[in-house]
Amino acid sequence: MTYKLQFAELLPYWDVLLHGLIFTIVLTIVSTIGGIAVGTAGAAARTFGPKWLDPIVAAYVEIIRNTPFIVQLFFIFFGLPAAGVKLSETAAAFLAMVVNLGAYSTEIIRAGIEAVPKGHLEAAESLAMTRMQILRHVVLKQAFQKIYPALASQIIIVMLGSAVVSQISAEDLTYAANYIQSRNFRAFEVYLVVALLYLLLAIAARAVLRGIGRVIFPKA
């Protein structure tokens, strides 16, 4: 028996797909901003902060990097309510994404900070700058310039990983796919189309990030 692929049966559900697509895009943008903020704070704490903070941040980074995202998500959505913190599906999805990207970007940004030559720090010190001023004006920009490509690819990885939030019924693109295939029973077609949508999203995100990089870091 040969199976005929029927993509036309997806058309009535275009609005569901669009809704999911927008959710995934917003989720990615918000968690990128939040994750980089967390990562910057974490990296600054590890390199410029007080000593006692270092092992705490290091533990956060290692725990997140060495456990699956889906387990982190389940822990936040199912586990935290038992400890008194109750979150909606959407809030849990956003929180899990920020926590996850935050850990990876802490590590990436820290590597960037550590790659700034010691002489630059001494030059800044000689100009009477405080530690915070040195971090902000001399170190961070240089560090970000260096690690921007690594950060950009991590953002894409996290975006693709976000498909998992459908498992707690956050209404992202994958959730839309699950919904549609449960209605029209065309699982393969639906997942193929949605996979290609993700691919387009990844390609677009890469282009956008490259563009942003060109604007913030003009060729030095």
Partner 1 sequence: MSLVSIKDVRKSFGSVEVLKGVSIEVGRGDVVAIIGKSGSGKSTLLRCINGLETYDAGCISVDGIDVGKTRGNLRDLRRNVGMVFQQFNLFPHLTAAENVMLAPKVVNRESAHITKALAKETLAKVGLSDKADSYPSQLSGGQQQRVAIARALAMRPNVLLCDEITSALDPELVSEVLRVVERLASDGMTLILVTHEMRFARDVGTKLVFMHQGKVHEEGPPKPLFASPGTPELAQFIGMQH
Partner 2 sequence: MNDFSFWVILSNLLLATRWTVLLSLVAFVCGGAVGLALLFARVSKIRWLDTATRAYIEFFQGTPLLMQLFLFFFGVALLGIEVSPWLAASLALTFWTSAFLAEIWRGCVESLPKGQWEAAETLALSYIEQMRYVILPQALRIAIPPTVGFSVQVIKGTALASIIGFVDLTKAGTMLNNATFRPFLVYSLVALIYFALCYPLSWYAHRLERQFNVAR
Q: Which does 7 bind (CB under 5 to 8 A by kind): partner 2, partner 1, none?
A: none
The nearer residue to partner 1, 2 or 126, going by C-beta atoms, is: 126
Q: Which does 81 bind (CB under 5 to 8 A by kind): partner 1, partner 2, none?
A: partner 2
Cβ contact 73:148 at 8 Å: no
Backbone angles phi, psi at 217, to 5 degrees: -120, 80
Q: Is 215 in the site for partner 1 (CB under 8 A)?
A: no
Binding site for partner 2 (CB under 8 A): 1, 3, 62-63, 65-72, 74-75, 78-83, 156, 160-164, 166-167, 174, 177, 187-188, 191-192, 194-196, 198-199, 202-203
In angstroms, rounded to a whole number, what is the distance separating the alpha carbons of residues 101 and 64?
A: 9
Q: Residue count at the site for partner 1 (CB under 8 A)?
A: 20
At position 206, the amino acid (one-letter code) is: R
At position 198, the amino acid (one-letter code) is: Y
The nearer residue to partner 2, 69 or 148, going by C-beta atoms, is: 69
Cβ contact 67:79 at 8 Å: no
Binding mask 91-130 toward partner 1 (x if CB under 8 A, else -) reads --------------------------x-xx-xxxxxxxxx
Cβ contact 39:109 at 8 Å: yes
Q: Is 141 in the site for partner 1 (CB under 8 A)?
A: yes
The nearer residue to partner 2, 66 or 126, going by C-beta atoms, is: 66
Out of 65, 86, 137, 210, the residue judged to bind partner 1 by CB under 8 A: 137
In angstroms, rounded to a whole number, what is the distance separating the alpha carbons of residues 46 and 40?
A: 10
In angstroms, rounded to a whole number, what is the distance separating the alpha carbons of residues 188 and 100?
A: 30
In angstroms, rounded to a whole number, what is the distance separating the alpha carbons of residues 41 and 103?
A: 11
Rounded to a whole number of angstroms, the minimum distance from the CB of residue 120 to partner 1 is 5
Structure tokens at 193: 């189309």
Out of 41, 60, 75, 145, the residue judged to bind partner 1 by CB under 8 A: 145
Cβ contact 170:23 at 8 Å: yes
Residues found near partner 1 in the complex (CB under 8 A): 117, 119-120, 122-130, 133, 137-138, 141-142, 145, 217, 220
